[in-house]
Amino acid sequence: MALRLSSVVSSTVVRHRLPLVGAFCVLSFGLTNLCASSSLSSRTGCVQSLLPFVPLLRSKFGAQTQNRKLHTMSMETSKTTVPSIVVYVTVPNKEAGKKLAESIVKERLAACVNRVPGVESVYEWKGEIQTDAEELLIIKTRESLLEALTEHVKTNHEYEVPEVIALPITGGNLQYLEWIKNSTRD
């Protein structure tokens, strides 16, 4: 891995883009987290190239990060919301996606289902690499409904092993999180 990283870092194109990558990393992970990983920064020069910009980054984004943390904490302790999740389910085509999405919302197993067409999935199935065009369903619901939602998908899905993957919602628009609660069954 070190050999690959050094050969990539020595590339002129990558070297010119490292400050942009570094800025993205700082904005995403925070300067404190990046500076702690000095082994990576010493090999790439990524963090060192950003040191002149640290005061500017802190002044522009430091306060926003603190406010966001406080806002997220207040949402987690809110009495008007419930623990919520986003669930990913893939379906083979538009018709299957529409039918499944509508049945999920009708049964109040989710507040909303986004249908994302044009997903291409590459996976191994029964020892062979497969590539299929699919539609992705992004389902917003209560954490407590995951088991019922999973059973509904398994019952109404044409795949032998349908994808049902849940991710926690850790923050967001308080009114939207309240709407998820009010639009789903208990």
**In this predicted model, what pLDDT tens digit does every residue of 44-71 receive, in sequence order?**
444 444 455 555 545 555 555 455 444 4
Residues 127-154, mean pLDDT to the nearest whole number: 98
Q: Which of 12-21, 68-77, 85-94 has the weakest average pLDDT?
A: 12-21
pLDDT at 76: 52
Evaluate if residue 26 carries a pLDDT over 50: no
What are the structural domains, with CATH classification, of the chain? Answer: 2-76 (no CATH), 84-182 (3.30.70.120)
pLDDT at 79: 82
Contact by Cβ (8 Å): 130, 122: yes
Q: What's this model's pTM, rounded to 2 decimal places?
A: 0.61
pLDDT at 164: 98
Evaluate if residue 33 carries a pLDDT over 60: no
pLDDT at 41: 39
Instruction: Give bridge partners of residue 88 from the DSSP assignment.
Output: 138, 165
Mean pLDDT for all residues in the chain:
75
